[in-house]
Amino acid sequence: MNSVAIQSVIQQAGRIIVKVGSSLVTNEGRGLDHEAIARWAAQISALRALGKEVVLVSSGAIAEGMLRLGFASRPHDIHELQACAACGQMGLAQIYESSFKAYGVKTAQVLLTHADLADRERYLNARATLTTLLRLGVVPIINENDTVVTDEIKFGDNDTLGALVANLIEADALVILTDQRGLYSADPRKDRSAYLIERAQAGDASLEAMAGGAGSNIGSGGMLTKVLAARRAARSGAHTVIAWGREPEVLTRLAAGEAIGTELNAPTTRLTARRQWMVDHLHTAGEVVLDAGAVQKLTQEGKSLLPIGVVAVKGEFGRGQLITCVSEAGKPVARGLTSYTSSEVRRIMRHSSHEIEAILGYIEGPELLHRDNLVLL
């Protein structure tokens, strides 16, 4: 890889998200790895000394809680998982606090759920809190609030959470530290001809095929979640590096411009903050199915969505809620803030805009989704 390329990603990055996985934090599930955490604290402190702002997204609470509560494998019961998270989060916060204190660096614990980012006001509050902490010289340590979330509102894994935080505070780079040296062309454990992908474009569909399936039984992610996280982070312009977490001085060497692991570059264009918020939702209130003409109007002509282009409505939603537009084949096309409720859309779909008032007795506007309130996927 050209080392100059890495310089533009990490060396020149002013704001960096660092994500460390469960297997690294807990030494493959054997308990919190104090030495490894101390090394990352030292490296992040060194990055701060270079003038960089760093946010740490750390897994490990559930894995540490499993150890404390005597679980031999990750439990499936949601309440047992939440109990593990509650117990493990205590130890995780304590060790990070003491590790960074050795370098005179203050830390703050921030626990997030998808609901915090799905609601616009809470999203802005979370953004303001994190940027204020960074301005005050604090290293925020973020984890999903596993003690209260359910499957319906989970981020799913901390790779996704890291990407969403990168979007939230418009970070320049996301560094995902994992138990592998990067993304390979195939599973190196099964294919001896597999080679390391040193550099690629985030969002390249071929990368998902290379990434394969699940990772260890300690965490909830795998290489595929990291590739998808890089694609998500790229929407706000953040580049991603996937590297082995036990590589000596990995963060400081990346900051010095060394090529380590896999670099997934973001395209030059980025979404506006409002559109980024719409894309960052993992769940929307409902769906509308569009005919081919409406899909073309949205994707090729940059038009608003009119009721006449809707052929079906799925779910229940209110005015102003975020909904997904899908093609008749089920492919997501766009997201937007709806001007009408689901029951209203069912009445006016397949009708032209000038018929809305006659059907409903009132009109909120000719568009179901105005182009200023939608984003293409």
Phi-psi category of 297—alpha, beta or left, where left has phi over 0 and alpha has psi -120 to 50?
alpha
Q: How far apart are CA 350 and CA 348, in angstroms?
A: 6
Say if residues 86 and 69 touch (Cβ distance below 8 Å). no
135 CB-side CA count, 13 A: 7
Q: Note the pLDDT of residue 184.
A: 92
Domains of the chain from N-terminus onward: 3-275 (3.40.1160.10), 284-376 (2.30.130.10)
Q: Note the pLDDT of residue 293.
A: 96
Q: Note the pLDDT of residue 46.
A: 97
Q: Note the pLDDT of residue 4.
A: 41
Distances (CA, A) of 283 to 47, 122, 241, 304, 322: 35, 16, 26, 22, 9
Q: How far apart are CA 207 and CA 210, in angstroms?
A: 5
Say if residues 317 and 336 touch (Cβ distance below 8 Å). no
Neighbours of 185 (CB within 10 A): 15
Q: Note the pLDDT of residue 256.
A: 93
Closest of 176, 222, 179, 219 to residue 66, by C-alpha: 219
Q: Note the pLDDT of residue 142.
A: 96
Say if residues 320 and 338 touch (Cβ distance below 8 Å). yes
Say if residues 9 and 234 touch (Cβ distance below 8 Å). no
Phi, psi of 105 (to 5 degrees): -110, 130
Q: Is 248 exposed, middle or buried (0-12, 13-18, 19+ CB in 10 A)?
A: exposed
The sign of the torsion formed by the CA atoms of 48, 56, 247, 243 equals: negative
Phi-psi category of 31—alpha, beta or left, where left has phi over 0 and alpha has psi -120 to 50?
left
User: Using the 8-state DSSP alphabet, how is residue 369 labeled?
Assistant: B
Q: Which helix (H) or strand (E) holds 334?
A: strand 332-337
Q: How far apart are CA 126 and CA 69, in angstroms?
A: 31
Closest of 169, 168, 142, 159 to residue 57, by C-alpha: 142
pLDDT in tens, the chain (377 residues): 344 444 458 888 999 999 998 889 988 777 889 999 999 999 999 999 999 999 999 988 888 899 899 998 888 888 898 899 899 999 999 999 999 999 999 999 999 988 788 777 888 899 999 999 999 999 999 998 877 765 544 566 789 999 999 999 999 999 999 988 999 988 887 888 989 999 999 988 889 888 875 444 444 458 889 999 999 899 888 999 999 999 999 999 999 999 999 999 998 677 776 787 788 777 888 999 999 999 999 999 999 999 999 999 999 999 988 999 999 999 999 999 999 999 999 999 999 999 999 999 999 889 999 998 899 98
Q: How far apart are CA 20 and CA 363, in angstroms?
A: 51
